[in-house]
Structure 1
Amino acid sequence: MSEILLICGSLILLLAIHDFFYTTLSGSGAGFIAEIVSIFSDKVIQVVVQLTGRNAYNYQGLFVNLMILSTWLLLIWGGLHLIYSSNPEGLTNSSGRVANNWERLYFTGYTLSTLGMGNFKPTTAFFEILTSCFSFFGFIFFTSSMTYFLSVSSSLVNKRSLSKGIYSLGNTPQRIAEKFRAVDPYFSYQKFLNLQEMVSKHSVNHNSYPVIHFYTEKDKTDSFSINITRLDEAISILLNSEKDENLLAELEPLRSSVTSFLKNMDTNFSRSLPRVGDSVNSADLPYILNGKNSEELIERRRILERLLRSEGFNWKDVVGQDM
């Protein structure tokens, strides 16, 4: 039994610690555990939204973050407790009494909290070294978690700024396209450049800190999914109808940045997005773009529709005033 507890505890610790460091320090996305917990937490919030309304979205990102942090902590706490339980006589109090199961659980949490060893102490060399290592790890765990969540907050500010920046251009794709046609070329170039930088930054942040995907706004005006869809549709309108070669050339970097973001969504977040058909129903759109790259446009709209539905919206919310 002791060997089984030692092996199980070690495996749980290795899995949880790897997932923690990969998610918080690698900048390459979420670990397997963090991804599963995020998707499960998102589904819980979606159920709550159906029962109570969109106000529940105000707590979605907070809930997902707390669930991830709690899962890491519980797995590490549980795994270390199993290792201590593999040799019950390895922990005793000051009078030499062997710690029972609940006292070993208490000792484990006390060690991870970096408060010390409490009124129990390890009696074997292995447990002494293990306790020292996880006292250090407890400090690293909490400081790394806070640093990670600060980075998430910064990325969230960029996401919201991008969404509001798009909305300020117009509340439908047609209006955004018309504004770009009407303004001074220098202004349009600067705006394209600014949007391109913000979209690229968000795409990088989205990949590095996937939890920001689960921060959803309750209002349509602030919704990232609606506004990024409006921007992409506006670009599609211009690319399929505009004759000004300079304007089209200026649009390409922005289009490329949005494309990179959509590919990232389709590749790395497919499991967290609702499934849709292969194409968008033309009845949902006030215009049909059958120009260049129509197959690419269908694929873009498929990804965008999945993103919209993940936040409880549809194409009518994107183009409603153009219908």
Structure 2
Amino acid sequence: MNYFVFFIGIIVLLVTAADLINTSLSVRGAGFITKRLSKSIWSVLLTINKKMGRRKVLEIGGAVILVSILINWLLLIWISASLLFISQPDSLMNVETNSPTTVVNKIFYTGYTLSTLGLGDIEPEGNFWDILTAILSFTGLILISIAITYLIPVVSAEITKRKISVTINTIGGSVEEMLLNYWDGKDFKELERPFFPLINSIILHAQNHKAYSVLHFFHSSDKREAFVLNITNLDELLTVLLHNIPEEQRPAYNVLIRLRKAISSYLITLPATYITPGKKTPPILLLTALENKGIKIISGEMVDLEYEKLRTRRRLLLSLIKDDGWEWTDLKCGSYNHEITMDKTN
């Protein structure tokens, strides 16, 4: 037996199993292999988008990465298990010719064993290989089942994410639009009504994102549905309400802080997808439209100091936007019209 090949197979199989279990059954996010594979594919798609301007490429990114993760697991399990049989020339015998099988035969046999189908004309030679075949059959059934069932909660979590994004967009397609939509001539306290349900929804998404970091790579080319744009607009809205709007005109402080903390619970999951604050700080929003409406806007050194304290947070939001293929200027993403118009077709 070639012990080097045998132990390489064992190590690769254990590492793959650990990555699969950590990714699909743990709430800590993707495993070592899956995390790097996902980011590598997404980086390639981002490069294609930047050079060719084809945002549709990013739209299929989530599906491509999800399928790639599944294929990667299956191939690594198959390859590592094949190495175990390849390590000994006569580990498998051809029943018809009573001779050792070739490397190709061993690979085919391993595939059939992992899928629990079996291969009638090839049999293990000796008790050790009989037991190993049984172990691999059970292992393959369990790991492959886990890998496939991983897809279902990811798709469900993505639907939840899009629901949150559209909900935020119904408040307004930009910070100024959100504020103008909920200005009743005296204050912005009406914002409390849409804020309450968003708190729990964003916390749920934060936990989903922590458990399934592949969610980050599901992209919408429609700005109105783009989660990163809408969540950034919401966070910038809270910043304006907390620091640029007089206290008596704000929604209840505890509502603002709870929503801010909910968004923070999402932002702290971003390093798992290699998103960290950059060196550039996004510009402070100009609230000209509000001033034109006669709404009092607080400004000055104290406000600038508060924004400086939020520098890391706002830089992280900028990195998040860029990693999804957008720019800070895309934050004016527009909102859904309350009237539906359909193109007439013959």
Partner residue in 1 for 2:221: 218
Contact in 2 for aligned 1:22/1:31 (Cα 8 Å): yes
Partner residue in 1 for 2:163: 161
Structure 2 residue corresponding to 1:194, chosen from 193, 197, 212: 197
Question: C-alpha displacement at 1:75, in angstroms?
Answer: 1.1
Q: Which protein has the bigger helix share?
A: 1
SS at match of 2:123: strand
1:303 to 2:277 alignment: no
Distance in 2 (CA, whole Å) between partners of 1:74 and 1:107 is 14
1:316 to 2:329 alignment: yes
Contact in 1 for aligned 2:277/2:312 (Cα 8 Å): no
1:268 aligned partner, one-letter code: A
1:150 to 2:163 alignment: no
Q: CA-atom RMSD, angstroms?
A: 2.3
Distance in 2 (CA, whole Å) between partners of 1:97 and 1:217 is 56
* Equivalent residue runs for 1:177-256 within 5 Å: 177-182=179-184, 188-240=191-243, 241-244=245-248, 247-256=252-261
Contact in 2 for aligned 1:60/1:214 (Cα 8 Å): yes
SS at match of 2:81: helix
Partner residue in 2 for 1:18: 18
1:46 aligned partner, one-letter code: L
Question: C-alpha displacement at 1:305, in angstroms?
Answer: 0.5
Deviations 1:149-206 (A, max 9, x none): 1100110011000110111111111221333443998863332111111110110000
Partner residue in 2 for 1:263: 268
Distance in 2 (CA, whole Å) between partners of 1:92 and 1:224 is 56
Distance in 2 (CA, whole Å) between partners of 1:281 and 1:157 is 32
SS at match of 1:12: helix
1:168 aligned partner, one-letter code: T
Partner residue in 2 for 1:30: 30
Contact in 1 for aligned 2:190/2:251 (Cα 8 Å): no
CA 1:320–1:103 in structure 2 vs 1: closer, same or farther (change >3 Å)?
closer
Partner residue in 2 for 1:79: 80
Distance in 1 (CA, whole Å) between partners of 2:17 and 2:59 is 30
- Per chain length, whose mean CA-contact separation is higher, i.e. which structure has more relative contact order (CA < 8 Å, sep 6+)? 2
1:311 aligned partner, one-letter code: D
Structure 2 residue corresponding to 1:279, chosen from 257, 278, 281: 281
1:100 aligned partner, one-letter code: T
Partner residue in 2 for 1:57: 58
Question: C-alpha displacement at 1:67, in angstroms?
Answer: 1.1
Partner residue in 2 for 1:137: 139
User: More deviation in 23-32 or 188-197?
Assistant: 188-197
- Per the normalisation by structure 1, the TM-score is 0.90
Partner residue in 2 for 1:68: 69
- Per the normalisation by structure 2, the TM-score is 0.85
Count residues with an aligned counterpart.
316
CA 1:200–1:180 in structure 2 vs 1: closer, same or farther (change >3 Å)?
farther
**Equivalent pairs: percent with the same residue?**
30
1:143 aligned partner, one-letter code: S
2:77 aligned partner, one-letter code: I
Question: C-alpha displacement at 1:52, in angstroms?
Answer: 5.9
